[in-house]
């Protein structure tokens, strides 16, 4: 069984730097199509089924807007 994960992005605190998009090895994250209350187009988890909970997005987020979860029953490395 492959390692599986889930991410949560706080869209109101995301400033749209998109460092997380560049850091994600499986391209799970994309730009949102709707602006937040500040008029910023935040990052969003577009392809969650690909997530392996590597934590790359969390590590590069300057505003700590991303939480990473490893799903139960997932293989550990």
Q: Mean pLDDT across the chain, nearest whole number? A: 93
DSSP state of 71: P
pLDDT bin (cut points 50, 70, 90) of residue 55 is very high
pLDDT value at residue 72: 82
Q: pLDDT at residue 4 above 90?
A: yes
Domains and CATH numbers, the chain: 5-70 (3.30.70.20)
Tell me the pTM.
0.85
**Averaged pLDDT for residues 52-75:** 91
**Averaged pLDDT for residues 48-57:** 96
Beta-carbon contacts of residue 42 (< 8 Å; ≥ 6 apart):
9, 11, 12, 14, 15, 16, 31, 32, 36, 65
Long-range contacts of 33-36 (CB under 8 A, 24+ apart): 36/11, 36/12
């Amino acid at each position: 069984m492959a390692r599986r994960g889930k991410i949560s992005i706080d869209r109101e605190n995301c400033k749209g730097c998109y460092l997380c998009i560049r850091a994600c090895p499986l391209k799970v994250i994309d730009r949102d199509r709707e602006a937040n209350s500040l008029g910023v187009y935040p990052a969003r988890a577009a392809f969650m089924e690909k997530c392996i909970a590597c934590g790359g997005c969390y590590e590069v987020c300057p505003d700590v807007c991303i939480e990473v979860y490893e799903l139960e029953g997932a293989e550990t490395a």
